[in-house]
Amino acid sequence: MLNKNILLIGFMGCGKSTVGRALSKRVGKYFLDTDNLIESSENKYIKNIFELYGENHFRNLELECANWLKSSVKSSVISCGGGFIYVEKYIKLSEIGDVIYLDVDFEQIVKRLSGAEIDKRPLFKDNSKARELYEHRVALYKSVATKIVDGSKTVDEVIEQIL
């Protein structure tokens, strides 16, 4: 695992970025966040991309990002946006690296997210729709994961599970 990319997948707010930054320091790898990469390349926040161009456009940007990761990025820790799982239709995430699913239940995710954090997430505006989306994605996350870890633990405990 130490010579490959490590992809962290899971629902919005499950801790992918927090765990990813700490894990990258621990194993001496670069840290990348797909949402940040897309925001940088588009010079717009994700919320604005959704508002201006819609979700389909954003999913196409994720696919472009996945292609770039597959061809150009090695030995990094990559935090993937919550919907990055949909690129699996076109590119196997396992071709980019080891896929680690941070499994956190919906109620805990809601507790973790502050008002400002929810506001940045266009698909979390309606709690009941977000729950439906969560339920739909859990099976997808589990189906592609190389490893499933309990993301409700402390950051250090999650890293230990990953390693």
For residue 45, the model assigns a pLDDT of 92
For residue 12, the model assigns a pLDDT of 86
Q: How far is CA 50 from the centre of its chain?
A: 17
Assessment of whether the complete model's pTM goes beyond 0.75: yes
CA distance 96 to 78: 10
Task: Split the chain (163 residues) into runs of 10 and give each run's mean pLDDT.
Answer: 83 92 95 96 92 93 96 95 92 94 91 64 70 91 95 94 93
DSSP state of 81: P
For residue 112, the model assigns a pLDDT of 75
For residue 107, the model assigns a pLDDT of 87
Show the domains of the chain with their CATH numbers.
6-162 (3.40.50.300)
Q: Which residue has the tokens 């993937």?
A: 80
